[in-house]
Amino acid sequence: MTTSPWDPAHVRARLAWTMQEAIQPAALIVDDTGFLKDGDASACVSRQYTGTAGKVTNCQAGVSLHLADDHASAAIDWRLFLPASWDPSSPQADAAKLARRVQFWLSNLPSGTPLTTLVRLAKLRWRIEHDYREMKQALGLANFEGRTWNGWHHHVTLVSAAHAFCTLQRLARAPKEAAPD
């Protein structure tokens, strides 16, 4: 997993194209999840806040990009967050401090978008919590014991592909809308 030569970005690009067609997303959602760690030898492990534990603890933080609609969602890209303790001069260090203090929504919708539409789209973020739960509990997202940057990205990519397969199976079994008379 850690030394395999395949490029996870290429797999995730194919995954994104496939899932975009299947889901027809109404939103792109950026979120993060924590990967609790006992030691500090793995890439980007640091004492930092994670919602996974609800406190500051030793963990890695993964930032993910999801396609989402009312009926389905899929993680299509990942990056391992680089904490300030690994590179204090990084511009990410200041951005991370700000982001942890100010939760926000970003939209490119027209200013006249009805509030009900904004609320419906904002609630799509909760689909991502369901994705994380399924990927961690059923598909092994939180079970990677490797230590490398590449290994972590390979692992989350394979879990995302497995989750996408499960999502496609659910969509195939979903009742089809009735044809108009």
What is the model's pLDDT at position 107?
82
Measured between alpha carbons, how far is residue 52 from residues 33, 55, 57, 102, 108 in Å?
Answer: 6, 8, 10, 18, 29
The encoded tokens of residue 70 equal 């009312």
pLDDT at 110 over 70: yes
What is the model's pLDDT at position 179?
55
pTM of the full structure: 0.84
What is the model's pLDDT at position 100?
53
Locate all alpha helices (DSSP H) within 73-148, ordered by sequence. Answer: 91-101, 115-123, 125-137
Mean pLDDT for 126-139 is 95
pLDDT at 104 over 80: no
Mean pLDDT for 88-112 is 67
**Residue 154 and residue 13: Cα distance in Å, rounded?**
13
Length of the chain: 181
What is the model's pLDDT at position 114?
93
Name which of 100, 95, 32 is nearest 63 in CA terms: 32
pLDDT at 148 over 80: yes
pLDDT at 103 over 70: no
What is the model's pLDDT at position 176?
67
What is the model's pLDDT at position 116?
93
Residue 85's pLDDT band, with cuts at 50, 70 and 90, is confident
Measured between alpha carbons, how far is residue 71 from residues 10, 26, 67, 164 in Å?
Answer: 26, 10, 11, 13
What is the model's pLDDT at position 39?
86
Mean pLDDT for 172-181 is 69
- The single-letter DSSP state of residue 71 is S
What is the model's pLDDT at position 93?
52
pLDDT at 28 over 70: yes
Mean pLDDT for 70-98 is 77
pLDDT at 127 over 70: yes
